Amino acid sequence: MGTFIEGRVEALADKSNLDEEIAEVERQLEDLRKRLPAHSLKVSMAVELDELEERLSELLGEKRRREKAEG
């Protein structure tokens, strides 16, 4: 059984990891959007864009849930 301090350190590490993952997905989205052609979007790029936006939405939802739980 972990101590209170160990639990807080783990929670902070989880939050840091979540923030890092959000930042990484945002970087990937920005890079992809810069590469999008003005016309004739390739299916693979559309799929990647959709997947990244979905992942970002999931991560941001998780962050909101955690922040709400912390009160």
Instruction: Quickly state the pLDDT bin for 10 (edges 50, 70, 90).
Output: low
Q: Which domain holds residue 26?
A: 4-70
Average pLDDT over residues 50-70: 94
Does the structure show a pLDDT above 60 at 65?
yes
Distance of CA 5 to CAs 10, 16, 19, 44, Å? 9, 16, 21, 46
Structure token pair of residue 35:
């590469």
Q: How confident is the model at residue 60 (pLDDT cuts 50, 70, 90)?
A: very high
- Is residue 56 within 8 Å of 32, Cβ to Cβ? no
**Eight-class DSSP state of 25:** H
**What is the count of structural domains for the chain?**
1
